[in-house]
Amino acid sequence: MKDFSRKLILLVDDSQDDELLTIDALRSGGIQSSISVVRDGAEALDWFFGTGTHANRDLSVMPDVVLLDLKLPKVNGLEVLLRMRADRRTRFIPTVVLSSSTQSEDIASSYRNGANSYLRKAMDFEQFTGALQCLGRYWLHYNQAPLSN
């Protein structure tokens, strides 16, 4: 059986409150995967492509799922998603947009730019926690990712 604690989640969110809520929801659902956090879109791109403050990062290690906020400083989430999908190293990484936006254009733009799923943050705590736990189990335990790009 595969060791799911060795899976990696990359959380891209500028809100420390949302970070703590997301990590707490995943952990309380039994998801023990490693979680790396970056605070803005520019740092996310540095993380993916080994530039800037992440120049020495081991690029052979990529996340098994990305949880991406849309409203990020420096580079917005839609641009991060577009650049991920344009690069062979990151194009197939499952990416879930976590956003407080309920605007249909934000949802449509997320899918047009390559999001695999869209989850609203603006639901009650128990719903959000349950949704994150289901999301984590699906993307980390059940989803079959391609073996190579």
- Find the CATH number of the domain harbouring 8: 3.40.50.2300
3-class DSSP assignment, residue 38: strand
Domain membership flag for residue 27: yes
Domain membership flag for residue 148: no
Query: What pLDDT, on the 0 to 100 scale, is given for residue 144?
Result: 85
Domain membership flag for residue 48: yes
pLDDT digits (tens, 9 = 90+) for 52-75: 999 999 999 999 999 999 999 999
* CA–CA dist 52, 128 (Å, integer): 33
78-87: long-range contacts, CB 8 A cutoff, minimum separation 24:
78/109, 78/110, 78/113, 79/41, 80/12, 80/41, 80/44, 80/45, 81/110, 81/113, 81/114, 81/115, 82/113, 82/114, 83/45, 83/48, 84/48, 84/114, 85/113, 85/114, 87/48, 87/49
Domain membership flag for residue 144: no
Q: 123 pLDDT exceeds 80?
A: no
Domain membership flag for residue 66: yes
Q: By residue range, what is the domain housing residue 106?
A: 4-139
Number of domains composing the chain? 1
Domain membership flag for residue 36: yes
Domain membership flag for residue 123: yes
Query: What pLDDT, on the 0 to 100 scale, is given for residue 4?
Result: 54
pLDDT digits (tens, 9 = 90+) for 22-56: 999 999 888 889 999 999 999 999 999 999 999 99
Domain membership flag for residue 35: yes
What pTM, to 2 d.p., does this model score?
Answer: 0.92
Per the DSSP assignment, residues forming a β-bridge with 36 are 10
